[in-house]
Structure 1
Amino acid sequence: MKTKLLALLLVITSSAVPAAAQMVQARDPGSIVSILTGLDYPAELGSDGAGDPIITSKHDGSTFKILFYNCTNHKDCATVQFHSSYDLDETLSLDKINAWNKSQRFGRAYLDGEGDPIIQMDVDLDDGGMSKALFTDNLEYWTSVLDQFEEHIGYTE
């Protein structure tokens, strides 16, 4: 009986390891770079002004960043944030930004100190991360948000 129980535990624990290894985690920025490049997005891993990881990428010509948060010693991060900012010739009205935030569930927007729009979307990868499929879904949703936001603010390259 002990041999069967030990064999069953070995099968259960050995099958859990590959599933965990396939998770996308903020503590492993390379896992996010791998997803991006696998989907034909450029992905440049660097560090921000505080020393935390940052990934720079593009969608349809627009640059976006993936910022890492809740890091310990600039690694072992827990969450990420998709982030895009725009340097417009004309100042966008606060009413325009508020209209976006009122009508959209994902992708909160605000104006920076110069009146330029910024859009962000948080993704929680704490407690084991998320599957590649779910992260890809979040990425696809983010790029959809970018497209809609750029149309909303009248952004053209």
Structure 2
Amino acid sequence: MYRNWLLVAPAIGLSPTAASAQTPPANVSAAAPDGIVAAMTYAGYLAELSKDGVGDPMIETELAGWPGYIYFYGCQDETNDNCQSVRLSVGFDRKTPMDPKALNTLASDKLFASFSLDEEGDPYVAWDIVTGDGIPAAVFFKSLDNFSWMIDDVSQTVFENDE
């Protein structure tokens, strides 16, 4: 009977591998970029780990339908690991430069986010999360969701009157 159970369990998705793939991580930390990728994948986000221009980890993703990046900060200079925080970032490529006053108005009621313009006047939105040794994955997921909702809202304003 035991042997028959071993044959049936994988077929119905009860293998240890399948079960663990469905278990959300308890915590995430910038010190473990692979764990953040796993958490994002679990939550349904696209997440591809790469490196930025100085060799720190970077995750390429999509937030609210826009290409986005997660940059890692506070990393060890020599080894580019043991990072302490992440920055969620999305940029918008407008046809015309955005007026800095309009960006300031937009930013005035967006808690936790920072806004900037690049040299072409395209707006960028960022949201920093300090993880240190780890934060609950649920808090990280909530931050991703809140940032995504804000990006969806901001994108509508960013492209208003962009001719």
TM band (smaller chain)? 0.7 to 0.9
Q: 2:123 aligns with which of 117, 124, 148?
A: 117
Alignment gaps of 5+ in structure 2 = 1-24
Counterpart CA distance in 2 for 1:59 and 1:122 is: 15
Which structure 1 residue ranges, 4+ long, deviate > 2 Å from structure 2?
none
Higher helix proportion (structure 1 or 2)? 1
Ranges in structure 1 where 5+ consecutive residues have no aligned partner = 1-20
Superposed counterparts of 1:44-59, under 5 Å:
44-59=48-63
Q: Distance in 1 between matches of 2:89 and 2:110?
A: 16
The one-letter amino acid paired with 1:47 is K
TM-score, scaled relative to structure 1: 0.81
Verify the 8 A CA contact 2:47 2:59 in the aligned structure 1: yes
- 2:67 alignment counterpart: 63
Q: Give aligned pairs, total.
A: 135
Question: Is 1:95 the equivalent of 2:101?
Answer: yes
Please report how far the alpha carbon of residue 96 of structure 1 lies from its aligned counterpart in structure 2 after TM superposition. Answer: 1.0
Structure-2 residue corresponding to 1:133: 138
**Contact 1:106 1:145 (8 Å CA) reproduced:** no
Secondary structure at the aligned position of 2:61 is classed as strand
Paired with 1:120 and 1:61, the residues of 2 have a C-alpha distance of: 16
Which string of whole-angstrom CA distances, capped at 9 and with x for unpartnered residues, describes residues 77-108 of structure 1? 00000001122111110011110222221221
Percent identity at matched positions?
A: 28
Task: With the length of structure 2 as denominator, give the TM-score of the two structures.
Answer: 0.78
For residues 44-81 of structure 1, give each alpha carbon's deviation from its aligned partner in whole angstroms, at most 9, with x where no partner exists: 10000000000011134311110000000211100000
Q: CA RMSD in A?
A: 1.6
Equivalent pair of 1:85/1:116 in contact (CA under 8 Å): yes
How far apart, CA to CA, are the structure 2 residues paired with 1:111 and 1:138? 23
Instruction: Specify which of 5, 26, 29 is matched with residue 25 of structure 1.
Output: 29
Whole-Å separation in 1 of the counterparts to 2:44 and 2:27: 19
